[in-house]
Amino acid sequence: METSERVINPWPDAVVEMRESTASTMDDARALARTGCATGSVVCARFQERGRGRVPGRTWISSPGESLLATVVVLKRDIAFPPPELPLRAGVAAARAVEDASGASVLIKWPNDLVVGGRKLAGILCESSGDFLLVGIGINLLQASFAAEIGSTACSLLQISGQRVSASRMLSLVLVRLREVLHDDGWRQRLREHLDAMGKRVRVDLLGSGSVVEGTIEGVDEKGRLMLRQGDGTPVLIEQGEIAPGP
């Protein structure tokens, strides 16, 4: 991790752990939380061996030093909203932090990706454990190119803005925006403004069920569920799925 840069954490009692390499910042942050650390405590690494995605079997692949790879601890007693809101609130925070760093226009692809021009820039994974929640964030920063299998679907901050933003600076911006959004009653409007494919017809693969639902995205409800309106006017709420463009 960049030794010349200090992470600015807006939570004064939080712990910041910066590591060269780890198996998983999510697992490390869980262990840190169990020691009784404060909300906003974070583990960040230049490289992680077993970064995981929302869908079982998917991994977050990144060469050392090219991405922000971090997990933030949020104590349940410190939030006044239902935990299912956290992934989308975190998405708003990460989107605004990227915009702060680059000026790029970032969209949130429900439920947990940040996209620019239809390509994935970042992913968010939240987990609940006991009295605390974990917010895992991976943002592509310095990649000049990607492996062929994801070259057309992934992007980095360097590619979209030409700017070299360090992981330390990006983490500082994310922490500031995350602290704001945890106490922001207007976060849902900001989500709506950033929601990818808002008002557009999409197909949603209901993961693991073998079913696909088609409809127009109308927003996200208070439980984080995607709100669709089918062609016959029937409303549908989706708890988990993968969005693709509609026919």
The CATH code of the domain that includes 152 is: 3.30.930.10
In a domain, 1, yes or no: no
Residues 52 and 70 in one domain: yes
Please give the pLDDT value at position 61: 59
Cis, peptide link before residue 10, omega less than 30° from 0:
no
- Which is more confident, 5 or 205? 205
Residues 210 and 190 in one domain: no
In a domain, 8, yes or no: no
Residues 115 and 212 in one domain: no
Residues 178 and 234 in one domain: no
The arithmetic mean of pLDDT across residues 163-168, rounded, is: 96
The arithmetic mean of pLDDT across residues 96-100, rounded, is: 97
Residues 88 and 207 in one domain: no
Phi, psi of 112 (to 5 degrees): -150, 20
Residues 183 and 219 in one domain: no
Residues 154 and 100 in one domain: yes
Residues 28 and 68 in one domain: yes
Is residue 66 pLDDT above 80, yes or no?
yes
Please give the pLDDT value at position 2: 44
Residues 50 and 92 in one domain: yes
Number of domain units in the chain: 2
Q: Note whether 44 and 69 are within 8 A (CB).
A: yes
Residues 143 and 206 in one domain: no
The arithmetic mean of pLDDT across residues 25-49, rounded, is: 96
- Which is more confident, 108 or 209? 108
The CATH code of the domain that includes 214 is: 2.30.30.100
Task: Give first-to-last CA distance, the chain, whole Å.
Answer: 45
Give the domain range for residue 208: 201-245
The arithmetic mean of pLDDT across residues 96-123, rounded, is: 95
Q: Note whether 166 and 174 are within 8 A (CB).
A: no
- Which is more confident, 48 or 132? 132
- Tell me, what amino acid is at 192? R
Lowest mean pLDDT among 3-7, 162-166, 218-222: 3-7
Q: Report how far Cα 162 is from the mean position of its chain's Cα atoms.
A: 22
What span, in angstroms and rounded, lies between the C-alpha atoms of 170 and 202? 32
Is residue 163 pLDDT above 70, yes or no?
yes
In a domain, 183, yes or no: yes
Residues 130 and 53 in one domain: yes
The arithmetic mean of pLDDT across residues 216-227, rounded, is: 92
Please give the pLDDT value at position 59: 57
Residues 20 and 89 in one domain: yes
